[in-house]
Amino acid sequence: MSPTVIDQLFFIYFYISLSILSIGVIVSRNIIHSAFFLLIFLLHVAAVFLFLNAEFLMAIQIIVYVGGVLALFIFAIMVMNIREELKHRRFVKFAGSGFLVSLLFFTVFYGFVRNIRFETSKPLSSDTNVLGSLLYSYYLLPFEILSLVLLIALIGGILIAKKTPREDR
Amino acid sequence: MMETFYIILITILKTALYFGVLMLHVAYATYAERKVIGHIQLRLGPMVVGPHGLLQPIADVIKLIFKEDIIPSNVDKKIFTIAPLISLTAALSTFAVIPVTDKWFIADINVGILYVLGILGVGTYGIIFAGWSSNSKYAFLGGLRSAAQMISYEVALAMSIVGVIIMAESFNLTEIVNRQAQYPLGMFLFPQIIGYFVFIVAMLAETNRVPFDLPEAETELVAGYFVEYSGIRFSLFYLAEYLAMFCMSALATICFWGGWTIPPFLLKIFPFLSIVPGVVWFLLKVYFHMFLFFWFRGTLPRYRYDQLMAIGWKVLIPLALFNIILTSLIKYYS
């Protein structure tokens, strides 16, 4: 058993569990159970990043998705009444068309991925420094545009939240 | 091949050692808390079990393990049983990257500080899930409060450390300590005093301690998110809270107090101090921060909920942003 065999075993584990967890997210009837599956799913994705030698992405994945996005999801879910939701029938009517669409998607996706040739360069010791210097030199314009888009979204969110009629007026 | 197994074996042994030491620390932190608060209030604290009550934590652990594990009816059983484990696992995992000295650590990763912040955020889910699954209004309100509080204060906590990261030019915890030794005072405490203040306040709120213990405010919510828990599951939450306190203390020690190093000027005045091993300094600094937690609990009243949110968003985050700008300006022009 060389280290590469161990690596591959870990990869097989992660891809099987990722598929099972992602099915769990959409299959569970209880929305909190879905959120729980999503939590474990996102942590697994972070572990996959770690195996690809992307430490920084691993940490950011945990902080942004696990610590921020999902926590806000659950916070929103908790103030809803999910007892109503449990009584509804499931959306099985569209299962056939959904299957067809996903088949089409994966066929196109396979055709796209098949022709990719990976550069086998040796892994960097630390991706954080490289990422920082690239982000502030070569990718400066896209980075600035993205921050502007985020700022606009932020201001828009505040504006929408302010529009709700206040009771004290 | 043998090398891989050797590394795995050593890591497991190290983890077991860390685990044992940590558990002992947590047990005696509860004892220290009761003693410190007792003396603040002119009481004696635990005195019955053993000399000066020294065996009290062990008696408590035995009591908690043998208590009946009650699961109320109408709870969401799966989530209810998993929730304390999420909290505990998250709190324990942070210690994987925390270095005690420059040679004693389980893992030395390049993004150590980000890892600690991220994993601490996972601990919130234990509290949220516990509050939701208990099917009790007190627990639910406690969980909601805790979720809002931890999301808000995580921002301030992360931002307060950015100044340290800018000065150290690294996310690596060992590197941060080594950089501090190059400064004349040997610690980032004085150049980063604003960051340290924000960190201490956010640290209290993140670990749900007085004066920000609103998720478990006993006068309003009985005990908050863990009302319905009993026996060993209740003690798992307790364990997670104290582990998070130790983790925060260790983080404050590493980022602001120079970790296991001694300030160089102290070493010049008292040269004999160099024979003291680094572990002792590290533990002394961690114990000081733990004492700070107990001291605040014995001194301060609880904040109101809107005051808590106002402090987080209107005071701490602007202060931390100001600190970041100031630090980067000084760094740029010097």
Helix (H, G, I), strand (E, B) or coil at B258: coil
pLDDT at A169 over 60: no
For position A91, what pLDDT does the model report?
A: 64
Interface of B with A (CB under 8 A): 1, 4, 76, 78-79, 82, 109-111, 114-115, 117-119, 121-122, 124-125, 128-129, 132-133, 140, 143-144, 147-148, 150-151, 154, 158, 171
Distance CA B144, CA B124 (A): 11
For position A60, what pLDDT does the model report?
A: 86
Averaged over B287-310, what is the pLDDT?
A: 87
Query: A51 or A13: which carries more pLDDT confidence?
Result: A13
| Stretch among A26-30, B95-99, B217-221 having the lowest mean pLDDT | B217-221
Place of tokens 């049983």: B81
Cα dihedral A85, A87, A90, A91 in deg (nearest 10): -60
Beta carbons of B147 and A59 less than 8 Å apart: no
**Which CATH number applies to A1-85?**
1.20.120.1200
Contacts of B217 (CB under 8 A, 6+ apart): B224, B302
Q: What is the CA radius of gyration of chain A?
A: 21
CA distance A59 to chain B (A): 5
Distance CA B306, CA A28 (A): 36
Angle at CA B239, nearest 5°, toward B77 and B153? Answer: 90
Place of tokens 């999801």: A73
> In one letter, which amino acid is A26?
I
Beta carbons of A78 and B151 less than 8 Å apart: no
CA distance B190 to chain A (A): 27
The total number of residues shown for chain A amounts to: 169
Q: Which two tokens stand for residue B9?
A: 């074996």
Name the pLDDT band for A104 (thresholds 50, 70, 90). very high
Q: Which two tokens stand for residue B215?
A: 């998720």
For position A105, what pLDDT does the model report?
A: 92
Can you give the residue ranges of every domain in chain B? 1-66, 75-333
The 8-class DSSP code of residue B194 comes to: H
Q: Which two tokens stand for residue B183?
A: 């400064």
Q: Are B55 and B312 in contact (CB under 8 A)?
A: no
Distance CA A24, CA B126 (A): 19
pLDDT at A164 over 70: no
B254-282 tens-digit pLDDT:
888 887 888 777 777 877 777 778 888 88
Angle at CA A21, nearest 5°, toward A20 and A22? Answer: 95
Closest to A20 measured CA to CA, from A35, A46, A38, A32: A38
CA distance B3 to chain A (A): 10
For position A1, what pLDDT does the model report?
A: 46
For position B312, what pLDDT does the model report?
A: 85
Residue pairs spanning A and B at CB distance below 8 A: 84
Cα dihedral A110, A115, A116, A118 in deg (nearest 10): 120
A108-150 tens-digit pLDDT:
988 888 877 766 665 555 667 777 888 888 888 999 999 999 9
Query: B69 or B161: which carries more pLDDT confidence?
Result: B161
Query: B321 or B266: which carries more pLDDT confidence?
Result: B321
Query: Mean pLDDT, chain A, as a whole number?
Result: 80
Q: Who among A68, A74, A126 is closest to B128 (CB)? A: A74
The fraction of chain A above a pLDDT of 90, given in percent, is: 12
Q: Are B18 and B98 in contact (CB under 8 A)?
A: no
ipTM of the complex: 0.80
| Stretch among A89-93, B28-32, B181-185, B253-257 having the lowest mean pLDDT | A89-93
Q: Are B286 and B278 in contact (CB under 8 A)?
A: no
Q: Are B298 and B291 in contact (CB under 8 A)?
A: no
Averaged over A38-66, what is the pLDDT?
A: 85
Phi, psi (rounded to 5 degrees) for B237: -60, -40
Residue B272, judged by CB atoms within 10 A of its CB (0-12, 13-18, 19+), counts as: exposed
For position A152, what pLDDT does the model report?
A: 94
For residue A33, list chain B residues with Cβ-Cβ distance below 8 A.
Answer: 78-79
For position A85, what pLDDT does the model report?
A: 63
Query: Mean pLDDT, chain B, as a whole number?
Result: 85
For position A94, what pLDDT does the model report?
A: 78
Beta carbons of A39 and B125 less than 8 Å apart: yes
Averaged over B27-33, what is the pLDDT?
A: 89
Averaged over B163-167, what is the pLDDT?
A: 87
Averaged over B45-71, what is the pLDDT?
A: 84
Averaged over A57-80, what is the pLDDT?
A: 82
Query: A18 or A81: which carries more pLDDT confidence?
Result: A18
B80-94 tens-digit pLDDT:
888 888 889 988 888
For position B322, what pLDDT does the model report?
A: 92
> In one letter, which amino acid is B293?
F
For position A26, what pLDDT does the model report?
A: 83
Cα B226 to Cα A19, A82, A115, B92, distances in angstroms: 33, 22, 54, 19
B170-220 tens-digit pLDDT:
888 888 888 887 777 777 777 888 889 999 999 888 888 878 877 776 677
Q: Who among A33, A62, A126 is closest to B119 (CB)? A: A62
Beta carbons of B114 and A75 less than 8 Å apart: no
Query: B138 or A147: which carries more pLDDT confidence?
Result: A147
CA distance B171 to chain A (A): 9
